[in-house]
Amino acid sequence: MIPGIFFASVGNLSELPDDLRPQVAMVGRSNVGKSSIINHLANQKQLARVSGEPGRTQTVNLYDFGGKFFLVDLPGYGFAKTAKSIRENFPTMIREYLSTAEQLRMAFLIIDARIPQSPFDVEMMEWMTEQCIPFTIVMNKMDKVTKNEAFTIHQKLEEQFPGVKRLEHSIRDGKTQKAMWGAIESAVRTPQRSSLPAFLQPMTLED
């Protein structure tokens, strides 16, 4: 397990550090549990702040893992109570980062297993697929659904996004933690992204 530390928090992408280390992004709706997943991966309770108020994170937060790579926690999307001017900026900031970050190796798209067909999530998946951005769907809070419900979730996601890798996650299950670490380790070994615009890059989704 690689130790993690908080590295930086920026409100504008121009403030991101000029660093050649690989980046793995955490993408998802507000209150989907991104911070809890970061803490679970780091085996720490308070590395990433967990807020009970959706829409709280309005910055891009970077976490340095052993000087080897960054986990990049992007602002959550889809929370209606966030001020309109900020809410409209979230998709721009998220999509600009995902399209232009040269050190990005993969994005974890975190979804709530209890709400697998959220229109916000589907829109993000479709956009990342169109832009050839490598991503893995992480079905969070799997301890909250039954085995039959889990089977249905997998089936629907495979029908809509065939071939896109999916992982289950629960903060109560160490096996799901190891599976995410395996995906991270594989991603950070991949070459740096091409300088071509995202829509011209070849598809690199994992099977």
Closest CA to 112 of 137, 88, 135: 137
d(CA 207, CA 197): 23
Residue at token pair 């979804």: 111
Domain-by-domain residue ranges, the chain? 4-192
Look-up of token digits 């994005």? 107
For strands 104-112 and 135-140, give the pairing: parallel
Query: What does the pLDDT read at residue 111?
Result: 96
Contact 16, 104 (CB under 8 A): no
Does residue 200 register a pLDDT over 60?
A: no
pLDDT (tens digit, 9 = 90+) per residue, 34-63? Answer: 999 999 999 998 898 765 555 455 789 999
The mean per-residue pLDDT over the stretch 11-31 comes to 93
* Sign of the torsion angle spanned by Cα atoms 82, 134, 132, 18: positive
pLDDT digits (tens, 9 = 90+) for 52-99: 555 455 789 999 999 999 999 999 887 655 555 544 555 788 989 999
**φ and ψ at residue 36, rounded to 5 degrees:** -65, -35
- CATH number of the 4-192 domain: 3.40.50.300
Whether 75 and 93 have beta carbons less than 8 Å apart is answered as yes
pLDDT of residue 117: 79
- Specify the pLDDT at position 93: 87
Q: Rounded mean pLDDT of 115-132?
A: 88
Question: With 60 as the cut, is the pLDDT of residue 146 above it?
Answer: yes
Which pLDDT value is given to residue 134?
95
Which 8-state DSSP code applies to residue 33?
S
Question: Which has the higher per-residue pLDDT, 119 or 199?
Answer: 119
Which pLDDT does position 113 carry in this prediction? Answer: 94
pLDDT at residue 198 greater than cutoff 70: no
At 28 the three-state DSSP class reads strand
C-beta of residue 104 within 8 angstroms of C-beta of residue 25? yes
Q: For the chain, first and last CA: distance in Å? A: 25
Q: Residue 10 is inside which H or E element, if any?
A: strand 4-10
